[in-house]
Amino acid sequence: MLKVMTAYTLEIDDEEIAVEELLSQLDLDELKKNSIGIMSCHYECLNSGVYEAVYEALSFNIVGATSSSQGVPGQNSPLMIALTVITSDDVEFATMVTPNIVENVSEVIEQTYLATHQNSGRKEAPGLILAFAPFLLSNCGDDYVNALSRVSGDVPCFGTLSVDDTLDFANCYVFADGKAYKEELVAVLLYGNIEPKFFIANISPNNTINKTALITKSHKHLLMEINDRPIIEYFEDLGLAKAVGSQYAMTSLPLLLDYNDGTPLVAKQFIKMNDDGSGICASEMPVGSTIYMAVADKQDVIDSTIATVEDIRANMKDASLMLAYTCVGRYMVLGADSKMAVDIFDERIGDELPFLFACSGGEMCPTQIEGKVATNRFHNNSLVVCLI
């Protein structure tokens, strides 16, 4: 059984005030045998020392990632600390922090996981992995998900890539143990009677362009050929050659990827066209997969968020907590109404279920689970939700 508490502060510079405000909202006398804090915050609270001060004021670990916006029931803001405390007598939490993952990413993650699992003293696999990964242009987010899936035996993996509100994403951090990291991965292994439920909102089928294509040459997130032709020719056929060479591609030209293995479609993001005619995507684009070009728009983001919230409401009877991460691309599409997504959660769920909601630089979430075996995927341009 889990007990959950949420707290927030809009103070990201003054250590004393931030700690006082957060502690005033937490009933620490109600802590059980095992506790963990999941936090989302503006990067300034790491630079100012506020995160370290909060960590030192509490008797348990606090993990998480920076975000460009975050919220808990009743409050949301870019300049904010959102904290969720999970405490339990029968669920245990083991935190792992990898060494630098710029190189040998899979090997480093797998070795760290195995050491953490062994040190936990548990023979059975965890019931859930919560992962917080760095935003690194050199790495492919699928590498994180695939490594954790492979080494754990396909335990459900849920989480986010760090993000910030700068143009060059220069202040993206993950954190644990009172320290901030830019090139390491943080994860929490949850052991015990955990039966998480997952929900995903991405691009509506009505927003896809009716011209599919087969990926015939790629390397991780480098897309080289579609239908045995340079990818620029595919975009030219769609009249989108100019669009994929501009910032417009980052917010309004998502892709839906069909792995052609019977699993659900996953939203991916095209980033930019290279001078040699190849393209960079935010996710791995495997050869043999089919892509659907799509168009993101404000109304689709709103409608899919509402539909997902209603699905959650119908399935949250036994849940203690909701964690939700929405792609920064969806956030940007909402423009001046960027807070609308978290407001929808707050208005329809906030009085009934504690939650932490944050923007994400990439989302980790299973698309399906059979027994205890999860099909974990790395998503872009999606809203992912985990009920615990």
Tens digit of each residue's pLDDT (9 = 90 or more) over 349-376: 988 999 999 999 999 999 999 988 999 9
The tens digit of pLDDT for each residue in 27-59 reads: 999 999 999 999 999 999 999 999 999 999 999
* Percent of all residues in the chain with a pLDDT value above 70, rounded to a whole number: 97
DSSP string, 291-360: EEEB---HHHHHHHHHHHHHHHHTT-TT-S-EEEEEEHHHHHHTGGGTTHHHHHHHHHHTTTS-EEEEEE
Question: Contact at 8 Å (CB) between 6 and 72?
Answer: yes
Please give the pLDDT value at position 244. Answer: 63
C-beta of residue 323 within 8 angstroms of C-beta of residue 38: yes
- For residue 27, give the H/E element and its range: none
pLDDT over threshold 60, residue 189: yes
What are 233-254's pLDDT values in tens digits? 888 887 776 666 555 554 557 8
Are the C-beta atoms of 6 and 355 separated by less than 8 Å?
Answer: yes
Q: What is the mean pLDDT of the chain?
A: 93
Per-residue pLDDT at 191 exceeds 80: yes
Q: Rounded mean pLDDT of 319-330?
A: 96
Q: Identify residue 45 by its one-letter amino acid code.
A: C
**pLDDT tens readout for residues 114-138:** 999 999 999 999 999 999 999 998 8
User: Quick one: tokens of 359?
Assistant: 């923007």
Q: Which of 256, 259, 257, 266 is nearest to 288 (CA)?
A: 259
Question: What DSSP line would sit under 231-245, residue for residue?
Answer: HHHHHHHTT-TTGGG
Amino acid at 23: L
Q: Please say whether the beta carbons of 106 and 50 come within 8 A.
A: no
At 168 the pLDDT is 83
Q: How confident is the model at residue 172 (pLDDT cuts 50, 70, 90)?
A: very high
The arrangement of strands across the sheet holding 174-176 comes to 2-9, 81-88, 34-41, 62-66, 174-176, 179-181
Mean pLDDT, residues 69-83 taken together = 96
What's the one-letter identity of residue 290?
T
Lowest mean pLDDT among 63-67, 88-92, 251-255, 335-339: 251-255
pTM > 0.85: yes
- Which two structure tokens, joined as six digits, stand for 293? 């070009």
Given this model, what pLDDT does residue 313 score?
Answer: 96
Give pLDDT, residue 368.
Answer: 96
Neighbours of 250 (CB within 10 A): 17
pLDDT of residue 298: 93
Q: What is the pLDDT of residue 252?
A: 57
> In the prediction, which pLDDT does 10 show?
97
> What kind and span of H or E run contains 283?
none
pLDDT bucket at 227, cuts 50 / 70 / 90: very high
pLDDT higher than threshold 70 for residue 95: yes
pLDDT number for residue 246: 57
Type and span of the H or E element at 372: none
